[in-house]
Structures are given as structure tokens and as C-alpha cells.
């Protein structure tokens, strides 16, 4: 029956009315009773009793997320060419080296270009780095005219001056406050960022473009990777590059992302052990928020509005959250014992701020099992009272966005764990 439903789901066009008629629940009283899967118990009911058991349970959990949600990403068996596009040795008041490099991924005659912008603090032998995708192009996070305007497909946006799915430089620097690079550099951290549409344009294209196009020889099935997995996969290619860059501390790389890119950041950290820290900003449904709570965006709603984000099997759980063999606290648990910070915004109910916090609480037994603190509190913290254990959390005032306040907590969290 499961298979039949999935087969049908794959061929039936998704009814737009589902998305239009959806009324989100924002009432805590109406959150249904639910039981979360125990991260420390195997699917067969056996308890995790040793570190070796946890390694096996971790693999089992990773498979569940791959097979039932994000899709299985291919191993990278192609080549990467690196071309420097620009370099400024005196960036940010002379405190940083800024570079833009083109990473050309090539496989079986197909190529994809990722244009990466990096800032490395000067006078630091090996700098820890934040690695994160941006929404509107590298040129939006700095005023520097040397930074290219992306040539990749971009969603039209009247405010940004983006028409015909092309970016324009009218909004150079418009995201400077969302990426406070000067503060990062002043505190000894570097940043590597690229436009997420370089990796995979964010529309339902039948998985024919972006990095999916490098693997057109592979037959797709209900487990195949969606766009969130593709963005995470692209982040790993950035790490392939960063590993060879002098001045980068490859043991201290933090992946960071906002919203859909926060979902991608968490998945990137789960599949790529080269990340030793992850930061999720308002990642919501499919990110840090527990699916079973059905508060704000739900599994059905996300699969309907964004049919290309996850694999086909995830649609089976539309309105069937209790049948999920895992929930999002286990995505956090997959990152244990590494530090993870989860940030919510009080008015961002769509992303279920409380559900994001409860995920960290429910991941904590795994941290404790591994001898770490996890989340130090189990009561939802007050507004703008950050909590920082191995798992960190805050809920700030205001709505959806990655703001200066959020970054200041990330820098403190990095200081706490890395200095
Ligand atoms: C939509 C979507 C969310 C997503 C957000 C974003 O609101 O429903 O799941 O996180 O876009 O990426 O900004």
C-alpha cells in the first residue's frame, strides 16, 4: 500500500489548492499528543549501550533521513578546477584577504560553476571559518564592486531589481547586516559563502539542472536526492576546496544557514563529518523543528509548496507524521558530540520556534550518552536569553531572518567552543 501511494504521488500533479487552503496551527493547545522515536534505540527495539552501538545507530539514523526525507546524494567522482576571479589583500579596513574563486565541477562532460566568496582574517595562522550559502548572490553581502553578480537563475524579486530570473547589481551590499563579516574577521573567524542557486536553482525543474545535471546518467527513483540535499552536497564541494587553502583551520569549520538553507546546513553537517559545528537559523519544518508537532508549516504543506526539496518518499508522510521512523531531533543528534546552535524568532511561528527548541532538548540524551552536556535547560528560554551548552539556543524578538543579533550569538558560541 505504501509503495502504491508513493507511486501515485510520483505521477499525480500536486494540487496547488492544497497549499492555498492550508490553515496552519498556531495554537499550542492544539498540538497533538505525540511520541518521539528514541534516538538511543535501534529500529529493532534494542537499546544503544556502547559507543560502538551509537556508531551503528547513527548509521541507521542517517539512512532513515536519506531514504525517507532528503534523498540519497551521489558520491563525488568528478573533477574540480579552481580559478581565482579576484583578490583583495586589504579588505575590511586592511584586516582581511577577500577572494572570489570559481569552482568548476566537471563530470562526464557536464560542468557546473560555483562562485565562492571568502574572507580570511589577516594575522591569524589558521582561521576557523563559517561556511554558508546565501539567498541573493555574493554581491549582496558586500559593497565591493569587484564581487561578481551571479549569472545563475534567480527568483524574480521586484525589491531587489531581479527580473527575467537574472540578478542585477542594484542591490549590491543589501544583505551586509545579515552577514557581519567585519565582526567575524575582528574576532578571528573567516567566512566562505556562495549563492545557493549556483548549486541548484530553487524551482521544480525535474532535477535536470544545477548539480543534479552532473548525474543525469543515474536513474532517479523515490529515494533520489532533492534540492536541499543538493545544496548540502554543494557545501561539501566547498569544503573539498577549503581543505587545501592555506590559512584555513580545517578542524574548525562551522556550517551556517538560514531557513531553507538552515535545513541544508543541518543536513550538510550530518553527512559531512568535516564540519565540527553547525548553526541553524530559523530552519523550521524539515530543519530543526519537530515534524510531529504540526505547528506552523507541516510535512504536507512543505511537500506541496516545494515538491523539489525532499525525495518522493517524504510525501508518504503528508498528514502521517506519526509514521515517520525518525523526527528532527535525530537530525540534531546525528551531529553529536559536535556543538550545534539553533536560533528561532518569536514571530516566526511558521518555523515553530518552540518545536526547534524541543528538538535540541530531545537530542540531548545522545549528547549526554557521549559525555557532553547537550542543551542545559529543558524549559523554553525567555526571549533574548541565549543558552549555550554543547547545544545552544535563543529565541529573539521579531520575525524570520538571520539578523545581527543572531550572528552575535553565533560568534559567542564559536568563542565558547573554539577559543
Ligand atoms: C518558506 C518555506 C520554509 C522555508 C522558508 C525560507 O517559508 O515554507 O520551509 O524555510 O520559505 O527558506 O525562507
Determine if ligand 1 sits within 6 Å of the CB of residue 345: no
User: Is residue 15's pLDDT more than 90?
Assistant: no
| C-alpha torsion sign, points 25, 392, 409, 150 | negative
What is residue 219's DSSP assignment? P
Residue 369 Cα to chain centre, angstroms: 25
- Summary mean pLDDT of the chain: 95
- Number of the ligand 1 atom closest to the C-alpha atom of 305: 8
User: Cα of 182 to ligand 1 centre, how many Å?
Assistant: 28
Strand partners, 86: 100
> Sorting pLDDT into bands at 50, 70 and 90, what band is 379?
very high
pLDDT at residue number 406: 98
Instruction: List, in order, residues 6 or more apart from 44 with CB less than 8 Å away.
Output: none
Which DSSP state fits 355?
H
- Which domain does 412 fall in, by range? 8-418
**CA 7-214-110 angle, 5° bins:** 140
What is the Cβ-side half-sphere exposure of residue 156, based on CA atoms within 13 angstroms?
4
Residue 17, pLDDT score: 56
pLDDT at 9 over 80: no
pLDDT (average), residues 11-23: 59
Catalytic residue IDs: 259, 400
Q: Which atom of ligand 1 is nearest to the CA of 262?
A: 10
302 lines ligand 1 (CB under 6 A): yes
What pLDDT score was predicted for residue 21? 84
Closest CA to 236 of 212, 214, 259, 264: 264
Cα–Cα dist 231/193, whole Å: 12
User: Which among 138, 202, 219, 131 has a CA at the least distance from the CA of 171?
Assistant: 138
Answer yes or no: are the C-beta atoms of 137 and 122 closer than 8 Å: no
> What is the Cα 111 distance to its own chain's centre?
24
> In angstroms, what is the span from residue 267 Cα to ligand 1's centroid?
16
What is the reported pLDDT for 325?
Answer: 98
Cis omega (within 30 of 0) on the bond before 337? yes
Examine the pLDDT at 261 and tell me if it is beyond 80.
yes
For residue 4, name the pLDDT band (cuts at 50, 70, 90): very low
What atom of ligand 1 comes closest to residue 263's alpha carbon?
Answer: 10
pLDDT of 13 > 50? The answer is: no
**pLDDT tens sequence across 97-118:** 999 999 999 999 999 999 999 9
Q: Does 8 have pLDDT greater than 60?
A: no
- Span from the CA of 23 to the centroid of ligand 1 (angstroms): 16
Indicate the pTM of the whole model: 0.95
Residue 304 lies in a domain: yes
89 neighbors 65 (Cβ within 8 angstroms):
no
Please tell me which residue, 9 or 168, carries the higher pLDDT value.
Answer: 168
So what's the pLDDT on residue 233?
Answer: 98
Q: How far apart are CA 12 and CA 304, in angstroms?
A: 12
The DSSP string of 25-61 is ---GGGPPP-----TTB-TTSPBP-SHHHHHHHHHHH
Encode pLDDT of 79-93 as tens digits: 999 999 999 999 999
pLDDT tier for residue 11 given thresholds of 50, 70 and 90: very low
Is 283 among the domain residues? yes
CATH code: domain of residue 19 = 3.40.50.1820
Mean of pLDDT values over 244-273: 98
pLDDT for 360 beyond 90: yes
Considering the domain boundaries, does residue 168 fall inside one? yes
Question: In this structure, what C-alpha cell is assigned to residue 274?
Answer: 568535516
Residue 212 has pLDDT above 80, yes or no: yes
pLDDT at 7: 37
Confidence check: pLDDT of 1 > 70: no
Q: How many domains does the chain have?
A: 1
Q: CA 95: distance to chain centroid?
A: 29
282 Rama sector, left if φ>0, alpha if ψ -120 to 50, beta otherwise: left
Cα–Cα distance for residue pair 138/171, rounded to 1 Å: 11
Assess if residue 218 is contained within a domain.
yes
CA distance 283 to 260: 6
In a domain, 1, yes or no: no
Per-residue confidence at 20, pLDDT binned at 50, 70, 90? low
Q: Is residue 82 part of a domain?
A: yes
Cα(286) to ligand 1 centroid in Å equals 10
**Which residues, 6+ apart, have CB-to-CB distance to 77 below 8 Å?**
107
**From the CA of 109, how far away is ligand 1's center (Å)?**
34
323 by Cβ neighbours in 10 Å (0-12 / 13-18 / 19+) ranks as exposed
Q: Distance (Å, rounded) from C-alpha 97 to C-alpha 90?
A: 6
Mean pLDDT across the stretch 205-210?
Answer: 94
Q: Is the CB of 154 under 6 A from ligand 1?
A: no
Q: What is the mean pLDDT of residues 298-319?
A: 98
User: What is the C-alpha separation between 415 and 419, in angstroms, rounded?
Assistant: 5
Cβ of 268 less than 6 Å from ligand 1: no
Sign of CA dihedral 375, 377, 383, 386: negative
Classify residue 3: in a domain, yes or no: no
- Quick check: CB of 284 below 6 Å from ligand 1? yes
Ligand 1 neighbour 304 (Cβ under 6 A): no
Residue 55 lies in a domain: yes
Contact 138, 195 (CB under 8 A): yes
Determine the 3-state secondary structure of 375 from DSSP.
Answer: coil
- Helix H or strand E encompassing 256: strand 248-258
For range 357-365, the mean pLDDT: 99
Cell of 134: 546565501
Is pLDDT at 154 greater than 70 in this prediction?
yes
Amino acid at each position: 500500500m505504501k509503495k502504491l501511494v508513493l507511486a501515485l504521488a510520483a505521477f499525480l500533479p500536486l494540487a496547488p489548492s492544497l497549499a492555498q487552503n492550508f490553515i496552519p496551527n498556531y495554537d499550542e493547545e492544539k498540538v497533538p499528543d505525540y511520541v518521539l522515536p528514541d534516538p538511543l534505540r535501534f529500529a529493532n527495539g534494542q537499546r544503544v549501550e556502547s559507543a560502538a552501538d551509537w556508531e551503528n545507530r547513527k548509521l541507521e539514523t542517517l539512512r532513515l533521513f536519506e531514504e525517507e526525507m532528503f534523498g540519497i546524494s551521489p558520491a563525488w567522482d568528478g573533477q574540480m578546477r579552481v580559478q581565482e576571479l579576484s583578490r583583495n589583500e586589504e579588505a575590511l579596513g586592511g584586516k582581511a584577504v577577500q577572494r572570489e574563486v570559481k569552482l568548476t565541477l566537471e563530470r562526464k562532460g557536464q560542468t557546473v560553476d560555483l562562485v565562492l566568496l571568502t574572507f580570511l582574517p589577516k594575522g591569524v595562522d589558521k582561521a576557523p571559518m563559517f561556511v554558508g550559502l546565501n539567498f541573493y548572490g555574493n554581491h549582496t553581502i558586500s559593497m565591493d564592486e569587484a564581487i561578481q553578480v551571479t549569472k545563475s537563475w534567480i527568483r524574480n524579486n521586484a525589491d531587489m531589481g531581479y527580473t527575467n530570473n537574472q540578478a542585477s547589481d542594484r542591490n549590491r551590499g543589501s544583505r551586509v547586516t545579515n552577514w557581519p563579516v567585519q565582526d567575524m574577521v575582528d574576532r578571528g573567524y573567516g567566512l566562505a559563502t556562495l549563492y545557493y542557486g549556483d548549486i541548484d536553482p530553487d524551482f521544480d525543474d525535474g532535477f535536470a539542472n544545477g548539480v543534479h545535471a552532473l548525474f543525469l546518467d543515474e536513474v532517479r527513483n523515490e529515494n533520489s536526492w532533492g534540492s536541499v540535499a543538493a545544496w548540502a552536497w554543494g557545501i561539501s564541494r566547498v569544503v573539498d576546496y577549503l581543505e587545501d587553502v592555506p590559512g584555513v583551520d580545517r578542524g574548525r569549520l562551522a556550517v551556517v544557514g538560514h531557513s531553507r538553507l538552515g535545513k541544508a546546513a543541518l543536513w550538510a553537517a550530518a553527512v559531512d563529518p568535516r564540519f565540527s559545528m553547525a548553526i541553524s537559523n530559523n530552519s523550521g519544518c524539515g530543519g530543526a523543528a519537530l515534524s510531529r508537532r504540526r505547528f506552523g508549516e507541516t510535512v504536507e504543506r512543505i511537500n506541496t509548496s516545494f515538491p523539489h526539496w525532499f525525495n518522493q518518499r517524504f510525501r508518504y508522510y503528508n498528514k502521517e507524521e506519526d509514521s515517520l521512523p525518525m523526527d528532527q531531533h535525530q537530525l540534531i543528534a546525528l551531529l553529536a558530540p559536535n556543538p550545534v546552535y539553533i536560533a528561532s524568532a518569536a514571530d516566526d511561528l511558521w518555523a515553530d520556534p518552540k518545536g526547534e527548541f524541543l528538538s535540541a532538548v530531545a537530542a540531548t540524551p545522545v549528547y549526554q550518552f557521549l559525555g557532553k552536556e547537550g542543551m542545559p535547560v529543558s524549559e523554553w528560554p525567555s526571549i533574548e536569553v541565549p543558552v549555550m551548552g554543547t547545544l545552544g539556543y535563543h529565541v529573539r524578538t521579531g520575525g524570520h531572518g538571520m539578523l545581527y543579533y543572531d550572528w552575535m550569538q553565533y560568534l559567542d558560541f564559536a568563542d565558547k567552543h573554539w577559543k
